Structure 1
Amino acid sequence: MGKSIFLLIGVTALSMSAIFVKLANAPASITAFYRLLFSFVIILPIFLIKNLEEFKKISKKDFLLSLISGISLAAHYSLWFQSLKYTSVASSTVIVTLQPLFSIIAGYFIFKERYTKLAILGFIIAIVGSVIIGWGDFQVSANALFGDILAFIAAGLMSANFVLGEYVRKRISAITYTSITYFAASVFLFFVVILTNTPLIGYPSYTWLNILGLALISTMLGHVIFMWLLKWFSASVVSMTILGEAVGACILGYFILKESISINQLIGIIVILFGIGLFLKEHKQN
Protein backbone atom coordinates (compact mmCIF):
# COMPACT_ATOMS: atom_id res chain seq x y z
CA MET A 1 0.00 0.00 0.00
CA GLY A 2 2.48 2.63 1.20
CA LYS A 3 2.02 5.88 -0.63
CA SER A 4 -0.96 4.51 -2.58
CA ILE A 5 -3.20 5.32 0.40
CA PHE A 6 -2.42 8.99 -0.17
CA LEU A 7 -3.90 8.69 -3.66
CA LEU A 8 -7.20 7.74 -2.02
CA ILE A 9 -6.94 10.60 0.50
CA GLY A 10 -6.20 13.06 -2.30
CA VAL A 11 -9.14 11.91 -4.42
CA THR A 12 -11.52 12.07 -1.46
CA ALA A 13 -10.40 15.62 -0.66
CA LEU A 14 -10.69 16.73 -4.29
CA SER A 15 -14.19 15.23 -4.50
CA MET A 16 -15.29 17.99 -2.12
CA SER A 17 -14.18 20.75 -4.50
CA ALA A 18 -17.34 21.02 -6.57
CA ILE A 19 -19.49 20.89 -3.43
CA PHE A 20 -17.62 23.77 -1.79
CA VAL A 21 -17.79 25.79 -5.02
CA LYS A 22 -21.55 25.30 -5.34
CA LEU A 23 -22.13 26.18 -1.68
CA ALA A 24 -19.84 29.23 -1.81
CA ASN A 25 -22.12 30.73 -4.48
CA ALA A 26 -19.57 33.41 -5.43
CA PRO A 27 -18.17 34.60 -8.77
CA ALA A 28 -15.84 31.96 -10.27
CA SER A 29 -12.82 34.27 -10.29
CA ILE A 30 -13.33 35.17 -6.61
CA THR A 31 -13.66 31.55 -5.52
CA ALA A 32 -10.55 30.56 -7.49
CA PHE A 33 -8.53 33.58 -6.30
CA TYR A 34 -9.22 33.18 -2.60
CA ARG A 35 -8.85 29.39 -2.75
CA LEU A 36 -5.30 29.75 -4.03
CA LEU A 37 -4.48 32.81 -1.94
CA PHE A 38 -5.60 31.08 1.26
CA SER A 39 -3.66 27.96 0.25
CA PHE A 40 -0.53 30.04 -0.34
CA VAL A 41 -0.92 31.76 3.04
CA ILE A 42 -1.34 28.37 4.75
CA ILE A 43 1.75 26.88 3.15
CA LEU A 44 3.93 30.04 3.36
CA PRO A 45 5.18 29.58 6.98
CA ILE A 46 6.36 26.04 6.20
CA PHE A 47 8.09 27.30 3.07
CA LEU A 48 9.85 30.15 4.88
CA ILE A 49 11.03 27.93 7.74
CA LYS A 50 12.07 24.80 5.87
CA ASN A 51 12.40 25.54 2.14
CA LEU A 52 13.79 29.04 1.72
CA GLU A 53 17.34 27.82 1.13
CA GLU A 54 16.14 25.36 -1.49
CA PHE A 55 14.24 28.14 -3.23
CA LYS A 56 17.41 30.22 -3.52
CA LYS A 57 19.16 27.37 -5.34
CA ILE A 58 16.56 26.36 -7.92
CA SER A 59 17.36 26.99 -11.58
CA LYS A 60 15.74 29.75 -13.62
CA LYS A 61 14.19 27.09 -15.85
CA ASP A 62 12.49 25.28 -12.97
CA PHE A 63 11.33 28.59 -11.51
CA LEU A 64 9.85 29.67 -14.85
CA LEU A 65 8.13 26.32 -15.40
CA SER A 66 6.68 26.51 -11.89
CA LEU A 67 5.28 29.97 -12.67
CA ILE A 68 3.72 28.68 -15.90
CA SER A 69 2.30 25.76 -13.97
CA GLY A 70 0.75 28.19 -11.49
CA ILE A 71 -0.90 30.19 -14.28
CA SER A 72 -2.25 26.95 -15.76
CA LEU A 73 -3.65 26.05 -12.36
CA ALA A 74 -5.27 29.47 -11.99
CA ALA A 75 -6.90 29.25 -15.42
CA HIS A 76 -8.03 25.70 -14.64
CA TYR A 77 -9.85 26.69 -11.45
CA SER A 78 -11.34 29.81 -12.99
CA LEU A 79 -12.79 27.97 -16.00
CA TRP A 80 -13.90 24.96 -13.98
CA PHE A 81 -15.66 27.04 -11.33
CA GLN A 82 -17.33 28.99 -14.13
CA SER A 83 -18.52 25.71 -15.69
CA LEU A 84 -20.35 24.87 -12.46
CA LYS A 85 -22.58 27.88 -13.09
CA TYR A 86 -23.90 26.21 -16.24
CA THR A 87 -23.86 22.46 -15.60
CA SER A 88 -24.24 19.99 -12.74
CA VAL A 89 -21.58 19.03 -10.20
CA ALA A 90 -21.54 15.48 -11.58
CA SER A 91 -21.09 16.41 -15.23
CA SER A 92 -18.59 19.23 -14.65
CA THR A 93 -16.45 17.06 -12.40
CA VAL A 94 -16.61 14.17 -14.86
CA ILE A 95 -15.46 16.32 -17.78
CA VAL A 96 -12.71 18.10 -15.87
CA THR A 97 -11.31 14.76 -14.73
CA LEU A 98 -10.77 13.72 -18.35
CA GLN A 99 -7.28 15.11 -17.82
CA PRO A 100 -5.69 11.64 -18.18
CA LEU A 101 -6.34 12.02 -21.91
CA PHE A 102 -3.79 14.85 -21.96
CA SER A 103 -1.46 13.37 -19.32
CA ILE A 104 -1.14 10.00 -21.07
CA ILE A 105 -0.29 11.69 -24.36
CA ALA A 106 2.29 13.88 -22.60
CA GLY A 107 3.66 10.87 -20.73
CA TYR A 108 4.16 9.01 -24.00
CA PHE A 109 5.88 11.80 -25.92
CA ILE A 110 7.68 13.70 -23.13
CA PHE A 111 8.50 11.11 -20.48
CA LYS A 112 8.66 8.12 -22.87
CA GLU A 113 6.15 6.18 -20.81
CA ARG A 114 4.85 3.03 -22.44
CA TYR A 115 1.46 1.51 -21.79
CA THR A 116 0.23 -2.04 -22.26
CA LYS A 117 -2.86 -2.71 -24.33
CA LEU A 118 -4.78 -3.56 -21.18
CA ALA A 119 -3.69 -0.28 -19.54
CA ILE A 120 -4.99 1.65 -22.56
CA LEU A 121 -8.19 -0.42 -22.39
CA GLY A 122 -8.55 0.54 -18.71
CA PHE A 123 -8.14 4.21 -19.66
CA ILE A 124 -10.79 3.92 -22.40
CA ILE A 125 -13.19 2.10 -20.05
CA ALA A 126 -12.78 4.82 -17.39
CA ILE A 127 -13.40 7.55 -19.98
CA VAL A 128 -16.53 5.70 -21.18
CA GLY A 129 -17.70 5.63 -17.56
CA SER A 130 -17.20 9.39 -17.34
CA VAL A 131 -19.21 9.93 -20.51
CA ILE A 132 -22.00 7.71 -19.17
CA ILE A 133 -22.21 9.81 -16.00
CA GLY A 134 -22.29 13.14 -17.84
CA TRP A 135 -24.42 12.00 -20.77
CA GLY A 136 -27.60 13.57 -19.44
CA ASP A 137 -26.16 17.09 -19.49
CA PHE A 138 -25.21 16.82 -23.14
CA GLN A 139 -28.91 16.47 -23.93
CA VAL A 140 -30.34 19.05 -21.53
CA SER A 141 -29.47 22.50 -22.90
CA ALA A 142 -26.96 24.72 -24.63
CA ASN A 143 -25.99 26.15 -21.24
CA ALA A 144 -25.08 22.68 -19.94
CA LEU A 145 -23.05 21.98 -23.06
CA PHE A 146 -21.20 25.31 -22.66
CA GLY A 147 -20.38 24.36 -19.07
CA ASP A 148 -19.07 20.99 -20.24
CA ILE A 149 -16.82 22.69 -22.82
CA LEU A 150 -15.37 24.99 -20.15
CA ALA A 151 -14.71 21.94 -17.97
CA PHE A 152 -12.94 20.16 -20.84
CA ILE A 153 -10.59 23.11 -21.38
CA ALA A 154 -10.00 23.18 -17.63
CA ALA A 155 -9.03 19.50 -17.81
CA GLY A 156 -6.26 20.28 -20.31
CA LEU A 157 -4.94 23.09 -18.12
CA MET A 158 -4.89 20.85 -15.04
CA SER A 159 -2.95 18.25 -17.01
CA ALA A 160 -0.36 20.91 -17.84
CA ASN A 161 -0.04 21.58 -14.11
CA PHE A 162 0.57 17.88 -13.38
CA VAL A 163 2.94 17.30 -16.30
CA LEU A 164 5.03 20.34 -15.38
CA GLY A 165 4.89 19.17 -11.78
CA GLU A 166 6.21 15.73 -12.70
CA TYR A 167 9.11 17.35 -14.55
CA VAL A 168 10.05 19.96 -11.93
CA ARG A 169 9.46 17.74 -8.89
CA LYS A 170 12.43 15.61 -9.91
CA ARG A 171 14.61 18.43 -8.58
CA ILE A 172 12.63 20.45 -6.02
CA SER A 173 10.35 19.63 -3.09
CA ALA A 174 6.56 19.68 -3.16
CA ILE A 175 6.42 22.60 -0.70
CA THR A 176 8.72 24.78 -2.82
CA TYR A 177 6.92 23.85 -6.02
CA THR A 178 3.41 24.46 -4.67
CA SER A 179 4.49 27.71 -2.99
CA ILE A 180 5.67 29.10 -6.33
CA THR A 181 2.65 27.83 -8.26
CA TYR A 182 0.10 29.07 -5.72
CA PHE A 183 1.78 32.48 -5.60
CA ALA A 184 1.79 32.77 -9.40
CA ALA A 185 -1.81 31.56 -9.58
CA SER A 186 -2.95 34.04 -6.91
CA VAL A 187 -1.30 36.99 -8.70
CA PHE A 188 -2.78 35.95 -12.05
CA LEU A 189 -6.28 35.61 -10.61
CA PHE A 190 -5.97 38.90 -8.72
CA PHE A 191 -5.54 40.71 -12.03
CA VAL A 192 -8.47 38.74 -13.49
CA VAL A 193 -10.65 39.90 -10.60
CA ILE A 194 -9.52 43.53 -10.97
CA LEU A 195 -9.91 43.59 -14.76
CA THR A 196 -13.43 42.16 -14.55
CA ASN A 197 -14.44 44.63 -11.82
CA THR A 198 -15.42 41.81 -9.49
CA PRO A 199 -15.76 42.91 -5.83
CA LEU A 200 -13.03 41.50 -3.59
CA ILE A 201 -15.10 41.79 -0.41
CA GLY A 202 -18.71 41.95 0.73
CA TYR A 203 -19.56 38.26 0.56
CA PRO A 204 -21.57 36.44 3.26
CA SER A 205 -19.90 34.31 5.93
CA TYR A 206 -20.98 31.02 4.34
CA THR A 207 -19.04 32.00 1.19
CA TRP A 208 -15.83 32.54 3.15
CA LEU A 209 -16.31 29.30 5.09
CA ASN A 210 -16.71 27.27 1.91
CA ILE A 211 -13.72 28.92 0.23
CA LEU A 212 -11.70 28.16 3.34
CA GLY A 213 -12.90 24.57 3.05
CA LEU A 214 -11.63 24.53 -0.53
CA ALA A 215 -8.20 25.66 0.66
CA LEU A 216 -7.88 23.46 3.73
CA ILE A 217 -9.46 20.26 2.42
CA SER A 218 -9.53 20.19 -1.39
CA THR A 219 -6.19 21.95 -1.86
CA MET A 220 -4.02 21.04 1.13
CA LEU A 221 -5.30 17.46 1.41
CA GLY A 222 -5.93 17.09 -2.31
CA HIS A 223 -3.78 19.05 -4.72
CA VAL A 224 -0.73 19.36 -2.43
CA ILE A 225 -0.75 15.62 -1.77
CA PHE A 226 -0.83 14.92 -5.50
CA MET A 227 2.07 17.30 -6.09
CA TRP A 228 4.00 15.42 -3.39
CA LEU A 229 3.16 12.07 -5.00
CA LEU A 230 4.54 13.19 -8.38
CA LYS A 231 7.96 12.34 -6.95
CA TRP A 232 6.98 8.65 -7.13
CA PHE A 233 4.01 8.44 -9.50
CA SER A 234 3.78 9.73 -13.07
CA ALA A 235 1.32 12.45 -14.08
CA SER A 236 -0.66 9.84 -16.03
CA VAL A 237 -1.10 7.63 -12.93
CA VAL A 238 -2.10 10.60 -10.75
CA SER A 239 -4.52 11.86 -13.41
CA MET A 240 -6.11 8.43 -13.82
CA THR A 241 -6.59 8.18 -10.06
CA ILE A 242 -8.29 11.58 -10.05
CA LEU A 243 -11.00 10.15 -12.29
CA GLY A 244 -12.32 8.77 -9.03
CA GLU A 245 -13.18 12.36 -8.12
CA ALA A 246 -16.22 12.05 -10.37
CA VAL A 247 -17.44 9.13 -8.27
CA GLY A 248 -17.00 11.07 -5.04
CA ALA A 249 -18.66 14.17 -6.50
CA CYS A 250 -21.74 12.18 -7.55
CA ILE A 251 -22.11 10.65 -4.10
CA LEU A 252 -21.47 13.91 -2.22
CA GLY A 253 -23.73 15.82 -4.61
CA TYR A 254 -26.52 13.38 -3.73
CA PHE A 255 -26.14 13.68 0.04
CA ILE A 256 -25.23 17.38 0.36
CA LEU A 257 -26.78 19.15 -2.64
CA LYS A 258 -29.69 16.72 -3.07
CA GLU A 259 -28.70 16.10 -6.70
CA SER A 260 -30.17 12.80 -7.81
CA ILE A 261 -28.03 9.88 -8.97
CA SER A 262 -29.50 8.41 -12.13
CA ILE A 263 -29.12 4.86 -13.39
CA ASN A 264 -26.65 6.21 -15.97
CA GLN A 265 -24.52 7.75 -13.25
CA LEU A 266 -24.59 4.59 -11.15
CA ILE A 267 -23.47 2.50 -14.13
CA GLY A 268 -20.83 5.13 -14.92
CA ILE A 269 -19.43 4.98 -11.38
CA ILE A 270 -18.98 1.20 -11.63
CA VAL A 271 -17.38 1.48 -15.07
CA ILE A 272 -14.98 4.24 -13.94
CA LEU A 273 -13.80 2.27 -10.91
CA PHE A 274 -13.21 -0.82 -13.04
CA GLY A 275 -11.28 1.18 -15.66
CA ILE A 276 -9.09 2.91 -13.07
CA GLY A 277 -8.32 -0.39 -11.39
CA LEU A 278 -7.36 -2.05 -14.67
CA PHE A 279 -5.14 0.86 -15.73
CA LEU A 280 -3.30 1.08 -12.41
CA LYS A 281 -2.80 -2.71 -12.23
CA GLU A 282 -1.42 -2.96 -15.77
CA HIS A 283 0.64 0.24 -15.61
CA LYS A 284 2.27 -0.91 -12.37
CA GLN A 285 3.16 -4.28 -13.89
CA ASN A 286 4.57 -2.59 -16.97
Structure 2
Amino acid sequence: MASPKINPYFVLLIGVFSVSTSAILVKVSSADAGVIAFYRLLFTVLLMAPLFLWKNVGELKDISKKDWILSFVSGTFLAFHFILWFESLNYTSVTSSTVLVTLQPLFAFAGTYFIFKEKFSAGALTGGAVAVAGSIIISWGDFKISGQAFFGDMLALLACALITGYLLFGQTIRQRVSLMTYTFIVYLNSTMVLFFYVLIKDVPFGPYPIEEWVYFLLLAIISNLLGHTLFNWSLKYVSTSVISMAILLEPVGASWLAYWLLEEKIIQTQIVGGGVVLFGIMLFVADPARLKEHFQKRSADS
Protein backbone atom coordinates (compact mmCIF):
# COMPACT_ATOMS: atom_id res chain seq x y z
CA MET A 1 0.00 0.00 0.00
CA ALA A 2 1.48 3.36 -1.04
CA SER A 3 1.95 6.00 1.63
CA PRO A 4 -0.53 8.92 1.21
CA LYS A 5 0.79 12.38 0.34
CA ILE A 6 -1.43 13.92 3.02
CA ASN A 7 -1.44 12.68 6.62
CA PRO A 8 -4.72 10.69 6.94
CA TYR A 9 -5.12 11.86 10.55
CA PHE A 10 -5.15 15.49 9.40
CA VAL A 11 -7.74 14.58 6.77
CA LEU A 12 -9.83 12.90 9.47
CA LEU A 13 -9.73 16.10 11.56
CA ILE A 14 -11.12 18.14 8.65
CA GLY A 15 -13.79 15.50 8.11
CA VAL A 16 -14.84 15.60 11.76
CA PHE A 17 -15.09 19.40 11.73
CA SER A 18 -17.24 19.25 8.59
CA VAL A 19 -19.72 16.68 9.90
CA SER A 20 -20.05 18.64 13.16
CA THR A 21 -22.38 20.99 11.28
CA SER A 22 -24.82 18.19 10.37
CA ALA A 23 -26.87 18.12 13.55
CA ILE A 24 -27.26 21.91 13.57
CA LEU A 25 -28.54 22.02 10.00
CA VAL A 26 -30.94 19.13 10.63
CA LYS A 27 -32.17 20.69 13.87
CA VAL A 28 -33.10 24.00 12.20
CA SER A 29 -34.87 22.24 9.31
CA SER A 30 -38.61 21.59 9.59
CA ALA A 31 -38.68 18.87 6.90
CA ASP A 32 -39.21 15.15 7.57
CA ALA A 33 -36.07 13.18 8.46
CA GLY A 34 -36.33 11.04 5.32
CA VAL A 35 -36.75 14.10 3.10
CA ILE A 36 -33.72 15.83 4.64
CA ALA A 37 -31.63 12.69 4.11
CA PHE A 38 -32.91 12.26 0.53
CA TYR A 39 -32.03 15.78 -0.60
CA ARG A 40 -28.72 15.70 1.26
CA LEU A 41 -27.68 12.64 -0.77
CA LEU A 42 -29.36 13.74 -4.01
CA PHE A 43 -27.56 17.09 -4.08
CA THR A 44 -24.30 15.32 -3.23
CA VAL A 45 -24.72 12.93 -6.17
CA LEU A 46 -25.61 15.78 -8.55
CA LEU A 47 -22.55 17.77 -7.47
CA MET A 48 -20.29 14.74 -7.91
CA ALA A 49 -21.78 13.57 -11.23
CA PRO A 50 -19.84 15.85 -13.65
CA LEU A 51 -16.43 14.88 -12.25
CA PHE A 52 -17.39 11.21 -12.00
CA LEU A 53 -18.68 11.06 -15.60
CA TRP A 54 -15.56 12.86 -16.83
CA LYS A 55 -12.88 10.85 -15.05
CA ASN A 56 -14.23 7.70 -13.41
CA VAL A 57 -17.23 6.31 -15.27
CA GLY A 58 -14.99 3.83 -17.14
CA GLU A 59 -14.18 2.09 -13.85
CA LEU A 60 -17.74 0.77 -13.54
CA LYS A 61 -17.06 -2.14 -15.92
CA ASP A 62 -14.24 -3.40 -13.71
CA ILE A 63 -16.31 -3.63 -10.53
CA SER A 64 -17.14 -7.17 -9.49
CA LYS A 65 -20.66 -8.41 -8.78
CA LYS A 66 -19.68 -8.89 -5.15
CA ASP A 67 -18.58 -5.24 -4.81
CA TRP A 68 -21.82 -4.05 -6.45
CA ILE A 69 -23.80 -5.99 -3.85
CA LEU A 70 -21.64 -4.78 -0.97
CA SER A 71 -21.96 -1.19 -2.23
CA PHE A 72 -25.75 -1.47 -2.29
CA VAL A 73 -25.80 -2.85 1.25
CA SER A 74 -23.43 -0.07 2.36
CA GLY A 75 -25.66 2.57 0.75
CA THR A 76 -28.75 1.10 2.45
CA PHE A 77 -27.02 1.24 5.83
CA LEU A 78 -26.08 4.87 5.18
CA ALA A 79 -29.65 5.78 4.20
CA PHE A 80 -31.21 4.37 7.35
CA HIS A 81 -28.41 5.78 9.48
CA PHE A 82 -29.44 9.25 8.33
CA ILE A 83 -33.16 8.55 8.83
CA LEU A 84 -32.73 7.33 12.42
CA TRP A 85 -30.21 9.98 13.38
CA PHE A 86 -32.19 12.89 11.93
CA GLU A 87 -35.32 11.53 13.63
CA SER A 88 -33.47 11.33 16.97
CA LEU A 89 -32.86 15.08 16.84
CA ASN A 90 -36.63 15.59 17.10
CA TYR A 91 -36.61 13.96 20.53
CA THR A 92 -33.26 14.65 22.16
CA SER A 93 -30.58 17.35 22.23
CA VAL A 94 -27.82 17.93 19.70
CA THR A 95 -25.22 17.07 22.34
CA SER A 96 -26.76 13.73 23.37
CA SER A 97 -27.62 12.68 19.82
CA THR A 98 -24.19 13.42 18.36
CA VAL A 99 -22.32 11.79 21.24
CA LEU A 100 -24.33 8.59 20.88
CA VAL A 101 -24.40 8.45 17.09
CA THR A 102 -20.63 8.77 16.99
CA LEU A 103 -20.09 5.92 19.44
CA GLN A 104 -19.04 3.55 16.65
CA PRO A 105 -16.22 1.88 18.65
CA LEU A 106 -18.87 -0.11 20.50
CA PHE A 107 -19.64 -1.84 17.19
CA ALA A 108 -16.42 -1.23 15.24
CA PHE A 109 -14.24 -3.12 17.75
CA ALA A 110 -16.35 -6.24 17.27
CA GLY A 111 -16.65 -5.77 13.50
CA THR A 112 -12.96 -5.26 12.78
CA TYR A 113 -12.04 -8.12 15.14
CA PHE A 114 -14.35 -10.70 13.53
CA ILE A 115 -14.18 -9.49 9.90
CA PHE A 116 -10.60 -8.20 9.53
CA LYS A 117 -9.01 -10.11 12.45
CA GLU A 118 -7.68 -6.82 13.81
CA LYS A 119 -6.16 -7.15 17.27
CA PHE A 120 -6.55 -4.60 20.07
CA SER A 121 -4.24 -4.04 22.99
CA ALA A 122 -5.43 -3.66 26.57
CA GLY A 123 -4.86 0.10 26.31
CA ALA A 124 -7.06 0.45 23.22
CA LEU A 125 -9.82 -1.67 24.76
CA THR A 126 -9.68 0.39 27.94
CA GLY A 127 -10.07 3.59 25.94
CA GLY A 128 -13.06 2.17 24.10
CA ALA A 129 -14.67 1.00 27.35
CA VAL A 130 -14.21 4.43 28.94
CA ALA A 131 -15.81 6.10 25.91
CA VAL A 132 -18.80 3.74 26.12
CA ALA A 133 -19.12 4.51 29.85
CA GLY A 134 -19.33 8.21 28.98
CA SER A 135 -22.22 7.57 26.61
CA ILE A 136 -24.07 5.66 29.34
CA ILE A 137 -23.75 8.67 31.65
CA ILE A 138 -25.28 10.89 28.96
CA SER A 139 -28.16 8.47 28.30
CA TRP A 140 -28.90 8.09 32.00
CA GLY A 141 -29.14 11.86 32.38
CA ASP A 142 -31.55 12.08 29.44
CA PHE A 143 -33.65 9.20 30.80
CA LYS A 144 -34.14 11.14 34.04
CA ILE A 145 -35.23 14.21 32.05
CA SER A 146 -37.91 12.43 29.97
CA GLY A 147 -38.74 9.19 28.21
CA GLN A 148 -38.87 11.18 24.96
CA ALA A 149 -35.23 12.23 25.28
CA PHE A 150 -34.27 8.64 26.09
CA PHE A 151 -36.16 7.42 22.99
CA GLY A 152 -34.15 9.91 20.91
CA ASP A 153 -30.97 8.53 22.46
CA MET A 154 -31.93 4.98 21.43
CA LEU A 155 -32.61 6.10 17.85
CA ALA A 156 -29.16 7.72 17.78
CA LEU A 157 -27.55 4.52 19.08
CA LEU A 158 -29.24 2.47 16.32
CA ALA A 159 -28.03 5.03 13.78
CA CYS A 160 -24.55 4.52 15.22
CA ALA A 161 -24.72 0.77 14.56
CA LEU A 162 -25.75 1.39 10.94
CA ILE A 163 -22.98 3.90 10.18
CA THR A 164 -20.45 1.43 11.59
CA GLY A 165 -21.76 -1.23 9.20
CA TYR A 166 -21.44 1.30 6.37
CA LEU A 167 -17.80 1.93 7.27
CA LEU A 168 -16.98 -1.76 7.64
CA PHE A 169 -18.33 -2.57 4.17
CA GLY A 170 -16.48 0.47 2.84
CA GLN A 171 -13.18 -0.71 4.32
CA THR A 172 -13.55 -3.90 2.27
CA ILE A 173 -14.58 -2.27 -1.02
CA ARG A 174 -12.10 0.64 -0.87
CA GLN A 175 -9.17 -1.78 -1.18
CA ARG A 176 -10.30 -2.48 -4.77
CA VAL A 177 -12.36 0.54 -5.89
CA SER A 178 -11.24 4.19 -6.19
CA LEU A 179 -12.57 6.82 -3.78
CA MET A 180 -14.65 8.72 -6.35
CA THR A 181 -16.23 5.61 -7.88
CA TYR A 182 -17.00 3.97 -4.53
CA THR A 183 -18.42 7.16 -3.03
CA PHE A 184 -20.57 7.95 -6.07
CA ILE A 185 -22.02 4.43 -6.23
CA VAL A 186 -22.79 4.29 -2.50
CA TYR A 187 -24.34 7.78 -2.43
CA LEU A 188 -26.43 6.98 -5.52
CA ASN A 189 -27.65 3.71 -3.98
CA SER A 190 -28.43 5.51 -0.75
CA THR A 191 -30.37 8.21 -2.64
CA MET A 192 -32.52 5.60 -4.40
CA VAL A 193 -33.29 3.83 -1.10
CA LEU A 194 -34.29 7.15 0.46
CA PHE A 195 -36.46 8.04 -2.54
CA PHE A 196 -38.54 4.89 -2.10
CA TYR A 197 -38.62 5.36 1.69
CA VAL A 198 -40.13 8.86 1.33
CA LEU A 199 -42.49 7.58 -1.38
CA ILE A 200 -43.76 4.71 0.79
CA LYS A 201 -44.06 6.95 3.83
CA ASP A 202 -46.14 9.33 1.66
CA VAL A 203 -44.25 12.45 2.73
CA PRO A 204 -44.22 15.35 0.21
CA PHE A 205 -40.94 15.99 -1.64
CA GLY A 206 -41.87 19.70 -1.73
CA PRO A 207 -42.44 22.56 -2.04
CA TYR A 208 -40.28 24.00 0.76
CA PRO A 209 -39.20 27.53 1.71
CA ILE A 210 -35.90 28.74 0.25
CA GLU A 211 -34.10 28.34 3.58
CA GLU A 212 -34.89 24.62 3.61
CA TRP A 213 -33.22 24.17 0.21
CA VAL A 214 -30.19 26.06 1.58
CA TYR A 215 -30.00 23.62 4.53
CA PHE A 216 -30.22 20.62 2.18
CA LEU A 217 -27.46 22.04 -0.03
CA LEU A 218 -25.18 22.86 2.90
CA LEU A 219 -25.61 19.32 4.23
CA ALA A 220 -24.51 18.00 0.83
CA ILE A 221 -21.51 20.30 0.42
CA ILE A 222 -20.12 20.52 3.95
CA SER A 223 -21.25 17.36 5.71
CA ASN A 224 -21.00 14.94 2.78
CA LEU A 225 -18.44 16.26 0.30
CA LEU A 226 -16.11 17.58 3.01
CA GLY A 227 -17.09 15.09 5.70
CA HIS A 228 -18.07 11.56 4.74
CA THR A 229 -16.04 11.63 1.53
CA LEU A 230 -12.90 12.37 3.53
CA PHE A 231 -13.74 9.44 5.81
CA ASN A 232 -14.08 7.23 2.73
CA TRP A 233 -10.66 8.42 1.51
CA SER A 234 -9.15 7.57 4.89
CA LEU A 235 -10.52 4.02 4.80
CA LYS A 236 -7.71 3.05 2.44
CA TYR A 237 -5.02 4.06 4.94
CA VAL A 238 -6.47 3.62 8.43
CA SER A 239 -8.78 1.12 10.11
CA THR A 240 -12.53 1.61 10.60
CA SER A 241 -11.92 1.57 14.34
CA VAL A 242 -9.50 4.54 14.08
CA ILE A 243 -12.05 6.54 12.06
CA SER A 244 -14.77 5.65 14.56
CA MET A 245 -12.68 6.96 17.44
CA ALA A 246 -11.84 10.17 15.55
CA ILE A 247 -15.53 10.81 14.81
CA LEU A 248 -16.16 10.84 18.56
CA LEU A 249 -14.78 14.41 18.42
CA GLU A 250 -17.86 15.47 16.42
CA PRO A 251 -20.04 16.12 19.52
CA VAL A 252 -17.55 18.72 20.77
CA GLY A 253 -18.03 20.87 17.67
CA ALA A 254 -21.76 20.15 17.42
CA SER A 255 -22.41 20.98 21.08
CA TRP A 256 -20.49 24.24 20.81
CA LEU A 257 -22.44 25.26 17.70
CA ALA A 258 -25.77 24.25 19.31
CA TYR A 259 -24.96 26.32 22.41
CA TRP A 260 -24.09 29.47 20.44
CA LEU A 261 -26.45 29.21 17.47
CA LEU A 262 -29.49 27.44 18.95
CA GLU A 263 -29.05 28.48 22.60
CA GLU A 264 -29.36 24.83 23.57
CA LYS A 265 -28.56 24.17 27.21
CA ILE A 266 -25.95 21.58 28.10
CA ILE A 267 -26.79 19.67 31.30
CA GLN A 268 -24.32 18.32 33.84
CA THR A 269 -24.53 14.67 32.74
CA GLN A 270 -23.80 15.72 29.15
CA ILE A 271 -20.70 17.64 30.28
CA VAL A 272 -19.46 14.79 32.49
CA GLY A 273 -20.33 12.08 29.97
CA GLY A 274 -18.81 14.06 27.11
CA GLY A 275 -15.63 14.54 29.11
CA VAL A 276 -15.43 10.82 29.82
CA VAL A 277 -15.91 10.07 26.11
CA LEU A 278 -13.08 12.43 25.17
CA PHE A 279 -10.83 10.87 27.80
CA GLY A 280 -11.55 7.48 26.24
CA ILE A 281 -10.52 8.85 22.85
CA MET A 282 -7.21 10.07 24.27
CA LEU A 283 -6.53 6.65 25.81
CA PHE A 284 -7.22 4.96 22.49
CA VAL A 285 -5.21 7.35 20.29
CA ALA A 286 -2.25 7.55 22.67
CA ASP A 287 -2.09 3.77 23.11
CA PRO A 288 1.64 2.90 22.71
CA ALA A 289 0.99 -0.39 20.88
CA ARG A 290 -1.24 1.31 18.28
CA LEU A 291 1.23 4.18 17.76
CA LYS A 292 4.12 1.73 17.33
CA GLU A 293 2.11 -0.30 14.78
CA HIS A 294 1.16 2.87 12.89
CA PHE A 295 4.72 4.15 12.57
CA GLN A 296 6.02 0.70 11.58
CA LYS A 297 3.40 0.60 8.80
CA ARG A 298 4.33 4.06 7.55
CA SER A 299 8.03 3.13 7.53
CA ALA A 300 7.33 -0.03 5.53
CA ASP A 301 5.18 1.86 2.99
CA SER A 302 7.65 4.71 2.41
TM-score by length of 1: 0.96
263-272 or 3-12: bigger deviation = 263-272
Matched, 1:155 2:164: no
Q: 1:258 is matched with which residue: 263, 275, 296?
A: 263
Q: Decide which moves more: 147-156 or 259-268.
A: 259-268
In the alignment, structure 1 residue 53 sits paired with structure 2 residue 64: no
2:103 corresponds to 1:98: yes
Distance 1:115 1:2, change over 3 A: same
Aligned counterpart, 2:11: 6
Number of the residue aligned with 1:25: 30
User: C-alpha distance in 2, partners of 1:165/1:267?
Assistant: 33
2:213 maps to amino acid: W
- Give the alignment's Cα RMSD to 1 decimal: 1.4
C-alpha distance 6-179 of structure 1, shift in aligned 2 (>3 A)? same
Counterparts of residues 1-286 of structure 1 (less than 5 Å): 2-282=7-287, 283-286=290-293
How much does 1:284 deviate? 3.0
Q: Which runs of 5+ in 1 are unaligned?
A: none
CA distance in 2 between counterparts of 1:132 and 1:259 reads: 19
TM-score by length of 2: 0.91
CA distance in 2 between counterparts of 1:173 and 1:120 reads 32
User: What is the CA–CA distance in structure 2 between the aligned matches of 1:229 and 1:148, rounded to whole Å?
Assistant: 28
In structure 2, list runs of 5 or more residues that go unmatched: 1-5, 294-302
Q: Partners of 2:48 and 2:107 in 1: how far apart? A: 28
How many pairs were matched up?
286
Partners in 2 of 1:208 and 1:43 — Cα distance?
18
Q: Separation in 2 of the partners of 1:71 and 1:244?
A: 25
Would you identify which runs of 4 or more consecutive aligned residues in structure 1 move more than 4 Å? none
TM-superposition CA deviations, 1:235-255 (whole Å, max 9, x none): 111011111112221111111
Distance 1:143 1:268 in 2: 19
Distance, in Å, in 2 between the alignment partners of 1:186 and 1:225 is: 19
Identity score, percent: 49
CA contact (8 A) 2:96 2:270 kept: no
What displacement does 1:134 show?
Answer: 4.2
